Chain A
Amino acid sequence: MTGPSPASRHHYLVRAVAAHGLAGSTLDLPTSPCDDERFGSLLRDISDQRMTGLLWTAIADGALPATTAQAEQAEWRHVEALAGSLVLERLLLHTVQLLDDAAVPYRVLKGTAHGHLDYPDVGMRTYGDIDLLVPGAHFDTAVEVLLEQGHLRRHPQPRPGFDRRFSKGTSFRTDDGLEIDLHRTLTMGPLGIRLDLESLWERSETFWVAGRPLHALAREERFFHACYHAVLGNERPRLTPLRDLAQIALTGTLDLAQLHTVVRASRGEAAVARAVRHAWSELEIADVLAVSAWADSYRANAKQNAELAVYGPRSSYANKSVAAIRALPTFHERASFVYALSFPKGEYLDQRHRSRVRRLTRGLTQATRSRWRSS
């Protein structure tokens, strides 16, 4: 008989680190230090997934045995990640001040907000960029504010007004190579178009950095976003957003009625249920909570499954855009969306975008043909 393969043992270990400190996970950390080669692989994967805080906490708590050299490597890797987070936090404070001055409302999203509000120690959650949600009506102003700072917009919008009406958001790079992601909505494609953005702005939660209050989404909305990020952002759900959502669910009190209101308003039940099931399965959480019981019993219909497939491993920007057209509520909006992507402004058509636009145009053509055939 053979035991589990090295790859599967490695993945188990990465998952066990990802679950460290979560009451309810049945994943076990090893009882003796692993060899240096295996530890090197672990450190690499953990760093890639921005989980050095969990690895270092596991070692410092004595839950993950490590040699002195391994412990030093893990702590130093974490120090580097934390230094990055602090530099980003400084940029965040500066950026938020500029948005405040320009009367642009904002919500801090993802790692920064989770670290400060959801983890027992902010250092357990590091991050590699800053993410801000701004309302569509203020999106163009926010873009101007960031451009005035000399930040480089990474991708131009296809046509004026596209961002504030349709796009997920846009990214900026600072002179120092730091990244600011400005979001209008929480995901692209049909689920992003259908998201009830107004409800996201109704409430907020505040955290403090260097004596300054910063506004994040409220707890249930953060959970909702972590779910979307987990299953709609990457081909294979990354462990960090799965941990984020499990962290919120297991260590705080989720108001299920509020959560259902938020999810229902955006018709995001299938995505949220899938994310919760993924988190419970990947992190091997034995505890049954109301939200996990709901996710287990939720059955997506064929239409929902087709929508989720748009975010699947073989999907593309074009697939998501074509699917987004169907989710737009009016014919006028559908026409504007298609026009902007089919006839973009010159600056959008740089080398990087040409192929993307070609693919999208092909995608749009196919969508149009199939509609004609079915009509």
Chain B
Amino acid sequence: MNGDRSSAVRYGRDPAMTWRDTGRHVLVAPVDRLVEVMVLEGGGAVIWRLLDEPDTATGIAGRLAELEGAPDVAEVEACLALLTTQGVLRADEPEAPS
């Protein structure tokens, strides 16, 4: 089912990204594209820090809940989608069963 497959999407940092963290802001810059350095704050910065290892939206929301109370899952998903669109994160679809 579509819903099951989208919830299994794993988000991870794009490996072709160089970055720094001030503790308040996270700065990321792709090394393979000449675009401006992006500065993440708030939820975007927190999600970046959580993604040492790729995780699903549900997994990320669960870890956010441990850190700062239950998040709005729709907001987390919107943030992940935005970061993915901007090329900061990579979204890996689960492999289709053969």
Contact = CB atoms under 8 A, between A and B. Distances in A.
A259 interface: no
Interface string A79-92: 10011011101100
Contacts of B34: 90
A86 B24 contact: no
Contact of B31 (A56, A75, A210): A210
B39 A79 contact: yes
Contact of A90 (B21, B23, B25, B31): B31
Interface string A33-64: 00000000000000000000000100010000
Q: Is the interface of A mostly helix, strand, loop or mixed?
A: helix
A89 B30 CA distance: 10
Given A86-B19, A86-B37, A75 B25 contact: yes
Nearest to A212: B31
B27 A79 contact: yes
A86 B22 contact: no
Interface residues of B, number: 19
B29 interface: yes
B17 to A, nearest CB: 6
B20 A123 contact: yes
A102 interface: no
Nearest to B33: A90
A211 B90 CA distance: 15
Interface string A194-210: 00000000000000011
Nearest to B35: A90
A83 B24 CA distance: 14
Interface in B1-57: 15-25, 27-31, 34, 37, 39
B15 A211 contact: yes
Contact of A83 (B23, B30, B37): B37
Interface string A317-361: 000000000000000000000000000000000000000000000
B22 A123 contact: yes
Contact of A75 (B17, B19, B24): B24
A34 B17 CA distance: 38
A40 to B, nearest CB: 20
A87 B21 CA distance: 15
A82 B20 CA distance: 7
Contacts of B17: 210
| Pairs of residues from A and B, 7 with the lowest C-beta to C-beta distance, nearest first | A86-B29, A83-B37, A123-B20, A210-B31, A82-B20, A211-B15, A89-B18
Interface of B: 15-25, 27-31, 34, 37, 39
27 contacts: A75-B22, A79-B22, A79-B39, A82-B20, A82-B27, A83-B27, A83-B29, A85-B20, A86-B19, A86-B27, A86-B37, A87-B29, A89-B18, A89-B31, A90-B18, A90-B30, A90-B31, A122-B20, A123-B20, A123-B21, A123-B22, A209-B18, A210-B15, A210-B16, A210-B31, A211-B16, A212-B31
